[in-house]
Amino acid sequence: MESGLQRPKFQVKENWFRGVLIALVLVWTLQLILVVNRRRKTANFPPGPPRWPVIGNLLALGKMAHHDMARLSRQYGELMYLKLGVVNSVVVSSPEMAKEFFKVQDSVFSGRPRGAQSKIVFYDSKDLILAVGDHWRFIRKIAAVELFSPKRVKEFADARSEEILITATQILKKGKVGEPIKADAELLGLSFNNITRLLFGKTYYGAKATGEPADSAEFQRLIIANNAAGFLVIEDFLPFLKFLDLGGTKGKMKKNGAGFDAFLSKILKEHRRKEPSKERGTVIVDALLQIQKEEPALKDATIKGLLLDMLLAGAETVSDVEQWALTELMRHPDILEKVTKELDAVVGRGRLVDEADLVHLTYLQAVVNEIFRLHPVLPFLVPHESLADTKVAGYDIPKGTRVFFNTYGMGRDPKIWEDPLTFNPDRFLNSPINAKGQCYELTPFGSGRRICVGLNYAVILVELTLAQLLHLCDFSLPHGMKPSDVDVEESFGDQITVPKLRPLEIVAKPRLPLHVYSEAGITF
């Protein structure tokens, strides 16, 4: 007679397997500790905080990792070593040191880490941002010459203005009845509409979206799900935990990656059905499909990766910069007044802002540069990776070391900037410092060979959006709010960008003569 306490055979096997697994992890951990200790005795790494066995410095970085890195860099210096699990990492926190990585040894530090996201979402690094080697050189040339050339950027000037005016109309309609707008939602929708119109010739946000309703709903769902999934996957730093998928991030990535792939595959199919043309299309997907006929090496996965780069890296960063700018202007009415006075002096009050006006709006440019400094939306940029063993400032940097450029910390460093925590655009007036990649104090788009290829497009979009909205709309805070009530709390978590934690709420009224709006087709 069998005892009721007897364990089923499958449970015995399960416990045996679990015991073997634990033993293997312990052996692997012991070997790793021995290897790390051996390396520590021979390698001359930059200074850094004490490290735990196996996990290294992972626990030193919390949800606001950019704050933690800035704090640690103040203690350990302009070049700091961190061990993030099994990943050697350095944090660069001075313009002089940034120049060493971006310029002097640019070729050595031009790699990109290959993690779960690059494999799952970005077609195994077939995109531009995460690609390396010959493949990167091939697609960067296409992007620079065909997609973001001055001619291409100029072609979409009318489309950019049209989308901004559509958004301004909606903002003024709400303001007419005293309804505050949430700046994050309005600016995000505008930014995505500008990008998708450039990419596909369609828009997916707002009452005047030109995409099919089902496509708009799916696109918005994918964007929300992508943000909710996050980007931090523990296996990228602790590979022996790969089978656990802690937090379910990897599973969410797979689901979202499949969703984006289906969406983009449908786009390619639709555009391939269009009447063939000898001329390269005016929207980017048509241009890429035409190039593909001439360059068979340009596979569909690379085309979709490029499109995904521009969607996920382009739209939200632009809208975050715009929201931070409006936030600081609402907190500083005197600076807002300077911006609007310049607009009235350069543009006047009898017409709309034109892109040709931007070069003359020097104070607005200073505001944007000050936002890049004080509120960098990519606080570490996109991390680089060393392609070979090298030395920097006498320290050993092994091949495969991850490089974080501490733009957040540098932007708030009193050794670099006077009164760095104060929002003061005047510091950029008559200043040689700009955000184009040659001034290492201010590199929101990176520098060197990995500088963002869409830099000029992004800057034009930010400056034009702010100029047009501030010229058309008299913004004020909701009833009862004072400038000092506007917060600057950040959100970060496991994202790579730093948006505002709570959306800015503002009320808009027209600030120009009414005939200017009617002549521009703006009705509210």
| Helices marked H in 43-156 | 65-76, 95-99, 116-120, 133-142, 150-155
How far apart are alpha carbons 324 and 499 in whole angstroms?
8
Answer yes or no: is 452 a known binding residue. yes
How far apart are alpha carbons 373 and 443 in whole angstroms?
9
Provide the β-strand partners of residue 80.
91
Looking at 269-416, which runs of residues are DSSP E strands?
384-385, 390-392, 395-397, 402-405
CA 361 distance to own-chain centroid: 26
Tokens of 230: 């996050």
How far apart are alpha carbons 391 and 150 in whole angstroms?
38
Give pairs for 391-398: CB < 8 Å, separation 24+: 392/46, 392/79, 392/90, 392/97, 392/100, 392/101, 392/105, 393/46, 393/79, 393/97, 393/100, 394/44, 395/44, 395/45, 395/46, 395/79, 395/81, 396/43, 396/44, 396/45, 397/88, 397/90, 398/43, 398/88
Tokens of 188: 């995000």
How far apart are alpha carbons 344 and 363 in whole angstroms?
12
How far apart are alpha carbons 243 and 22 in whole angstroms?
13
CA 259, 236, 62, 408: dihedral to nearest 10 degrees? Answer: -80
Q: State the distance between the two ends of the chain, measured CA to CA, in whole angstroms.
A: 86
130 neighbors 116 (Cβ within 8 angstroms) = no
Provide the β-strand partners of residue 417.
none
470 neighbors 343 (Cβ within 8 angstroms) = yes
- The sign of the dihedral angle between the CA atoms of 231, 234, 236, 237 is positive
- Binding site membership: which residues? 452
- Binding site membership for heme: which residues? 452
